[in-house]
Amino acid sequence: MTVQMIFLAFFGGAAVWFGVVVFRTHSMVRSALALLFSQTAIGAMFLVMQAEFLGVLQIMMMATEMSIMAIFMVMFMMDPGGLGGMDMSHQKRFSIGAGVSAAVVAIAVALLSDWGPAAEQVVDAEAQTRALGMELLGRSMMIFETAGITILTAMIAATAVAIPVQNLSSKDDKEASE
């Protein structure tokens, strides 16, 4: 149990530290990848807590999502490499206030909720995966399907918005080939 606690604290600390690095660095790519490794550390925390499927899923999803975010950050920012020493933080007073109040709320929830007795024995990973599948396709099916349809709608909408740009590029291609 204590070894587990040490690892949990280590990965928790790593997650927070990488979270700080996101705003301390000047480079957009470093910022995005720091966020990625912060999320990976949270995935490792799941693994330490023996929630194998959730941990592996978190580690897998974040790698791709944050990499895709990185390219958008590079495309839209004027100084993606941070060679000009750009500051990542802005609206400082508002951000500090929002950050502190969010932290207070999170700590209050952590301390004041009734979490029930801590589980000493955990069912093995295979049973967990099975239970998770049953949950996703049973009681929680409606919620997850709604979320899925929402994401699909957003994807179609985003593609629809992008279509004029695609037409322009295909016209360019046609002109180039002529």
Partner 1 sequence: MSILVVLLSLAAGAYALAVIERWAVHGHLSLTGPAWAALALLGRESLLARKSDRLFFELGPVLLLVAGLMAVAVIPLAPGLIITDLATGALFLNAALAYVLVALIMAGWGPNGAYAMIAGWRFLGQFIAYAMLIVMPITAVAMRAESLSTVEIVASQEQLWNVLYQPMGFILFVVAAMGLAWLPPLDLPDATGELAGGVEAEYTGVRLAVLRLARMVIILALAGATVTFYLGGWLGPWLPPWAWSAIKILVVAAAMLSVGRYMPRIREARYLALSWKLGISLALANIFVVGVIALVVPI
- Residue ranges binding partner 1 (CB under 8 A): 27, 29-30, 33, 36, 52-53, 56-57, 59-60, 63-64, 66-68, 70-71, 74, 81, 83, 124-126, 128-129
Query: Given the complex with partner 1, which of 68 and 168 has the nearer CB atom?
Result: 68
Query: Given the complex with partner 1, which of 17 and 129 has the nearer CB atom?
Result: 129
Query: Given the complex with partner 1, which of 126 and 135 has the nearer CB atom?
Result: 126
What is the nearest approach in angstroms of partner 1 to the Cβ of residue 39?
A: 12
What is the nearest approach in angstroms of partner 1 to the Cβ of residue 124?
A: 7
Distances (CA, A) of 156 to 23, 76, 103, 153: 32, 22, 36, 5
Containing 142, the helix (H) or strand (E) segment is helix 141-177
Q: Which two tokens stand for residue 46?
A: 């799941």
Distance in angstroms (rounded) separating the CA atoms of residues 87 and 4: 37
Distance in angstroms (rounded) separating the CA atoms of residues 17 and 9: 12
What is the nearest approach in angstroms of partner 1 to the Cβ of residue 178?
A: 19
What is the nearest approach in angstroms of partner 1 to the Cβ of residue 29?
A: 5
Phi and psi dihedrals of 120, rounded to 5?
-85, -40
